[in-house]
Structure 1
């Protein structure tokens, strides 16, 4: 029988005869371990996962942070991934990811323009600029620096970084 990977506990049970002289009689089941593992990520841990997720920290790094803070923690990577998914669902609410992005851009006064393919209704172009960058560009519109290193995001959309 295999033990629990989460806690390292063997989680075994044993059968003991009720009467030591009558082995054909009644038996009772006795657990060899009294440890009860947690099944969910706690509130404090959820807050930490949410903060680190917002900062772009990887699941493995979050898990290492939690384990260094509490050596007895039973949190596994799947728990952290589930918490990240719940936070994302809560943050998106009824929006798509791109709609949520536009809401955030408007909320923080970012300059942004976009184009989409009318046939597929997929976003094809997006330009955005921080409000401070926009003000600098208004003052120094004759200077523009472009980083032309070719990059793509996870959707294979080419990215061009422009520093004004």
Structure 2
């Protein structure tokens, strides 16, 4: 029985160590304005099916704009309202597939949802397609560029057109 337990734990630990993990900072993209993300490949290779989750910030509001009667001094005549944008916490999650192309490069495709913690909270649904490049010593660093069209927004009191909105992001990170 002891031998089976050791073999079981050795198998589990070796599979966890063999997994490909990545942590990266993304400007734009699925988290909004910026986000820090963790990604894990679900097989023993650096390509194939994977999942990602992160935490970021956004300034985008998808609700109906209320007209404000407040104006900045000196702009009363022009009718321009100047204000500081609201900042919202975002939690992006996605399922993605990395298709291996030549020389440690990959095409990245995925679908995901970002939970934006605004008042009221909303879910922003998106697709993603992009290019990823591994570089550096032992190819442990990555940079990537993605196009992430917003394909839907759901939540209470949301005013949103039905056509996708094109968005994108750039990332820099490290594999471990």
TM over 0.5: same fold?
Answer: no
TM-score, normalised relative to structure 1: 0.22
Structure (1 or 2) with the greater helix fraction: 1
Greater CA radius of gyration, 1 or 2? 1
Comparing both structures, which one devotes a greater share of its residues to strand? 2
